[in-house]
Amino acid sequence: MQAIHLPTFLPLSQPFTSLHPTTISLPTPQPNDILIRITHISIQQVDLLYARGLHQNNNPKKGHIHPPFTLGLDFAGVVVSTPASRSNTPTSSQTPSSSERFRPGTRVFGSSPSSFAHFISLPASSLQLIPDSLSLADAAALVSGVVSHTAVHHVAGIQAGQTVLVTGVPGNLALIAAQSAQAAGAKVLALARNADRAEAVRGYLPGVEVLGGEGWKDEVKRLTGGKGVDVVIDNVGVVKDGLSLLAFGGTIVLVGFAGRQGVMEAVEMNRVLLKGAKLVGYRFGEGARKDLYDVQQCWEGYLGAIERGDIKAVVDTKSYKGLADVGRAMDDLEHGRLVGKAVVDISDSGSTRAGARL
């Protein structure tokens, strides 16, 4: 099958557009795995870091993503086979519910390393059923939104009547955090890098105050009557600004550093004390691996929000077709050319014929 497979990390001197699909072996399902034919993948900031070897999960001693590896996390696709469909005798640990939920032909989505490929083999616990209301493309765009929904509801505990500042629109995590906080009854302010990006996203966030450009901090103060915001969901790494705009006793949830370009802030801790602030470092994946969150409960809450229409996918209007376009999509994300998610359609890759042999 074809995949975006990295024998080594991509040097900083090489653009993401230099990435091209190569042929690797089809995955061999473990006894209890579900085999999926991937039809759509989406790009996120972590993919850029993984490709360069710049993520904490690439740490030689403590990380779990090392070359050679297949790039990718978020995907949507169709079940090809299950343990029950591959054998007349279910394995001892195979539960009937898993076989029933994920029959061949079922549409599924999820996030797992090695998804930039035509097939992936995963345990049922790594998969979710795609709601009937979603297309495969929208499902691929929404996968990582569970991170934002969990940040809003389980980490920050945002309540109706609070004022929330979300940084990083029109990035996907920020868009979904803004929608999640708004659905919780909060007054939402969303921050873009500049006025042009703020204008590009306003139509996707009705009822949200979208800010960008010079004077945005003064605008936050005006909109909060000088009190400041109760919660900051920070996707880009602006903790100092967040502290200056935080109401006393407020919370900053630090989701990522997409705007820091590897240069971290030095935050004076006396400012944290003076504001009575709570700073929460938030890593959904690592928290799940260490059982800090009930992942299935988080997913159930998120899927419920999608089905109620509280959260909608925002897919960039550019067309990406086939694994050969992955590098271009990553380059567009790196250079801030996207509004929402870049979704790559790899459904017409000829992988169906390969799937028939599995």
CATH number at residue 69: 3.90.180.10
Q: 116 is in which domain, residue-wise?
A: 2-134+313-356
Q: Is 307 domain-assigned?
A: no
Q: 352 pLDDT exceeds 60?
A: no
Which of 238, 270, 286 delimits the end of a domain?
Answer: 286
Residue 351 in any domain: the answer is yes
Classify the C-alpha dihedral 264-269-271-273 as positive or negative.
Answer: positive
Same domain? For 269 and 160 the reply is yes
What whole-number distance in Å separates Cα of residue 102 and Cα of residue 82? 7
Report the pLDDT averaged over residues 71-80.
98
For residues 180 and 270, membership in a common domain is answered with yes
pLDDT digits (tens, 9 = 90+) for 79-101: 999 998 887 655 545 555 576 78
**Does residue 149 sit in the same domain as residue 75?**
no
Provide the b/e sequence for 20-36 (b: ≥16 CB within 10 Å).
ebeebebbebeebbbbb
Token pair 């229409």 in the structure block, residue = 309
Domain end (from 268, 286, 304) = 286
- 188 lies in the same domain as 318: no
| Residues 168 and 226 occupy one common structural domain | yes
Task: Tell me if 303 is assigned to some domain.
Answer: no
Query: Mind listing the pLDDT tens digit for each residue in 62-73?
Result: 999 999 999 999
End-to-end Cα spacing for the chain: 12
Query: Are residue 116 and residue 206 in the same domain, yes or no?
Result: no
pLDDT at 358: 46
Output the six-digit token pair for 64: 């779990």
- Please give the C-alpha separations between residue 340 and each of 162, 169, 210, 276, 305, in angstroms, as whole numbers: 25, 8, 15, 34, 18
Name the domain count of the chain. 2
Query: Mean pLDDT for the chain?
Result: 93
Residue where a domain terminates, one of 251, 270, 286: 286
Q: Is residue 306 part of a domain?
A: no
Which helix or strand (DSSP H or E) is residue 353 part of?
Answer: helix 351-356
Provide the H-helix boundaries in 73-194.
Answer: 83-86, 96-101, 136-142, 145-150, 172-183
Bridge partners (DSSP) of residue 69 are: 6
Q: Give pLDDT, residue 260.
A: 64
Q: Encode pLDDT of 244-270 as tens digits.
A: 999 999 999 999 887 666 677 888 999
User: Are 130 and 150 within one domain?
Assistant: no
Are residues 117 and 214 both part of a single domain? Answer: no
Burial of 288 (0-12, 13-18, 19+ CB in 10 A): middle
292 within some domain: no
Same domain, 201 and 101: no
Whether 32 and 65 map to the same domain: the answer is: yes
> Does this model's pTM top 0.75?
yes
| Residue 353 pLDDT | 40
Q: How far is CA 129 from the centre of its chain?
A: 17
Residue 265 and residue 240 in contact, taking contact as beta carbons nearer than 8 Å: yes
User: What distance in Å separates the CA atoms of residue 8 and residue 255, rounded to the nearest whole number?
Assistant: 27
Position 113 in a domain: yes
Q: Same domain, yes or no, for 270 and 334?
A: no
The CB density around residue 190, as the number of other CB atoms within 10 Å, is 29
Q: Is residue 295 part of a domain?
A: no
What pLDDT is recorded for position 289?
Answer: 87
Kindly state whether residue 223 falls inside one of the protein's structural domains.
yes
pLDDT reported for residue 116:
99
- What's the rounded Cα separation, in Å, for the pair 66 and 50? 9
Say if residue 113 is in the same domain as residue 186: no
What confidence score (pLDDT) does residue 356 get?
Answer: 38
Exposed/middle/buried for residue 181 (C-beta within 10 Å: 0-12, 13-18, 19+): buried
Cis peptide before 170 (omega within 30 of 0): yes
Beta strands in 161-310, from DSSP E residues, in sequence order: 163-169, 187-192, 209-211, 229-234, 246-254, 278-281
Contacts of 14 (CB under 8 A, 6+ apart): none
